[in-house]
Amino acid sequence: MRRARPHGVCNREIGPQGTVKKRQAMTNNQKQTTVIVGGGHAAGALLTTLLQKKYQHKVILVGEEPHPPYQRPPLSKNYLTGEVDQGSLYLKPISIYENAGHQLRLGVRVVQIDRNNKIIRLSDQSTLKYDQLVLATGSRVRRLNAPGADLKGIHYLHDIADADNLRQQLVAGKRLVIVGGGYIGLEVAASANKSGVDVTVLEAADRLMQRVTGPEMSAFFYAKHTDAGVDVRLNTAVTGFEAGEQGCVTGVRLANGGIVPADIVLVSIGVLPETALAEAAGLPCDDGIVVDEFTRTADPAVLAIGDCTRHRNLLFEKMQRLESVANAVDQARTAAATLMGERVPYKSVPWFWSNQ
């Protein structure tokens, strides 16, 4: 059993062949504290990169969910179908972070940022002092404002709990109606179809995945899904939902007056950047937290990365906001370099994948 060493002393470690090497341990007072807010791919990628770079300062990650940082793409694919378990979603085991001296505060939410005093307040009434703060707050699902939108059986997919709830309902023979023909909705359509669920996709635009792909790709995926037996309806707007016994959804009402029968409904109409904390703290936001090519906000002590940011990319003239794992990882690497005192600007070509 290793004996605990007091803080602030010179530690001695035994090296190869019994040689002795010295390293000067930093005291808690000497070390700065970097706080990461968020538990998604951007936060996890930043934490992992700091581990790889042997970042010497204290790192605390605050995550609202009870899970360590995890990857979200499988939630609509092989995790939803039960092909992989929850543990496989985690970017790293908790022990990896703890062994490196990093602290995870899970299941707690940041409710306020006090930039003047460099303090954040948490939902459990505690506070944390920071020297550097990184906002990786991600996004939230866009809600459909329509009559009956709060009925039982209507789902959104954003986190592990959402996927668990939806998976329980996806039983062969059930009728699933997906509102929205973006890549998340279509990934769920493919997963549910493979499980024997009767799937209908309702898209208000005149082609699938219109926001992220060109017409050729839209046509390809339309053919792919319809050939597999998915009922895909374009130019089809939703106006509300039909209720049955005990407040459960039984159908989706359309603008043309029709009704599509449903046992389960997934609303997948995009996401919004999670900027409330930043806005309340007085940081500039414009459809995302505004950051420069080094992921810095207007406050030099505050960085921001991932889906929640509108960022500067040196490859483009205009600032942009991207919702992709690739962007989350690339921005995390840039932020890690900034925290290490390196000047490595963000200049990555945007891309994403979709498994349908």
How large a percentage of the chain has pLDDT more than 70? 92
Q: Specify if 4 maps to a domain.
A: no
Q: Do 262 and 280 share a domain, yes or no?
A: no
Q: Are residues 131 and 152 in the same domain?
A: no
Q: Check whether residue 252 and residue 279 sit in a common domain.
A: no
Last residue of a domain, one of 269, 300, 330: 269
**CB within 8 Å of 57: residues ≥ 6 apart:** 31, 32, 33, 34, 131, 132, 339
Q: Is residue 176 part of a domain?
A: yes
pLDDT, tens digit, for every residue of 155-182? Answer: 999 999 999 999 999 999 999 999 999 9
Residue 129 and residue 97 share a domain = yes
* CATH code, domain carrying 290: 3.50.50.60
pLDDT digits (tens, 9 = 90+) for 288-327: 999 999 999 999 999 999 999 999 888 888 899 989 999 9
Q: Does 129 lie in the same domain as 166?
A: no
Percent of the chain with pLDDT over 90: 82
pLDDT band at 22 (very low <50, low <70, confident <90, very high): very low
Q: Which domain holds residue 253?
A: 143-269
Q: Give me the DSSP letters along 126-171.
A: -EEE-SEEEE---EEEPPP-STTTTSBTEE--SSHHHHHHHHHH--
Instruction: Note whether residue 77 is domain-resident.
Output: yes
* pLDDT at residue number 44: 94
Q: Do 210 and 230 belong together in one domain?
A: yes
Confidence of residue 267 (pLDDT cuts 50, 70, 90): very high
Q: Is 347 inside any structural domain?
A: no
Claim to verify: residue 121 and residue 170 sit in the same structural domain? no
Mean pLDDT value across the chain: 90
In a domain, 218, yes or no: yes
Confidence band for 350, pLDDT divided at 50, 70 and 90? confident
Give a yes or no: residue 22 inside a domain.
no
Give the whole-angstrom CA distance, residue 288 versus residue 311. 8
The answer to whether position 21 is within a domain reads no
Together in a domain, 165 and 119? no
Among residues 269, 293, 312, which one ends one of the domains?
269
Q: Cα–Cα–Cα angle for 164, 168, 173, nearest 5°? A: 140
Separation CA 321–CA 138 (nearest Å):
11
Do 243 and 278 fall into the same domain?
no
Only one residue has tokens 């793409």, namely 73
Whether 265 and 162 share a structural domain: yes
pLDDT digits (tens, 9 = 90+) for 188-229: 999 999 999 999 999 999 999 998 899 999 999 999 999 999
pLDDT for res 11:
34
CA–CA dist 354, 356 (Å, integer):
6
Please state, in angstroms and as integers, the Cα–Cα distance from residue 124 to each residue in 64, 109, 112, 141, following that order.
11, 8, 12, 25
**Mean pLDDT calculated for residue range 269-276:** 96
Q: Closest Cα to residue 157, out of 321, 273, 305, 269? A: 269
Flag whether pLDDT at 336 surpasses 50: yes
Q: What is the mean pLDDT of residues 93-104?
A: 89
| Number of independent structural domains in the chain | 2
Q: Both 207 and 117 in a single domain?
A: no
Tokens of 295: 């992921």
The structure's pTM equals: 0.87
| Nearest-angstrom CA–CA distance, 313 and 296 | 13
Q: Are residues 257 and 157 in the same domain?
A: yes
Whether 5 shows a pLDDT value over 80: the answer reads no
pLDDT at 31: 81
5 part of a folded domain:
no
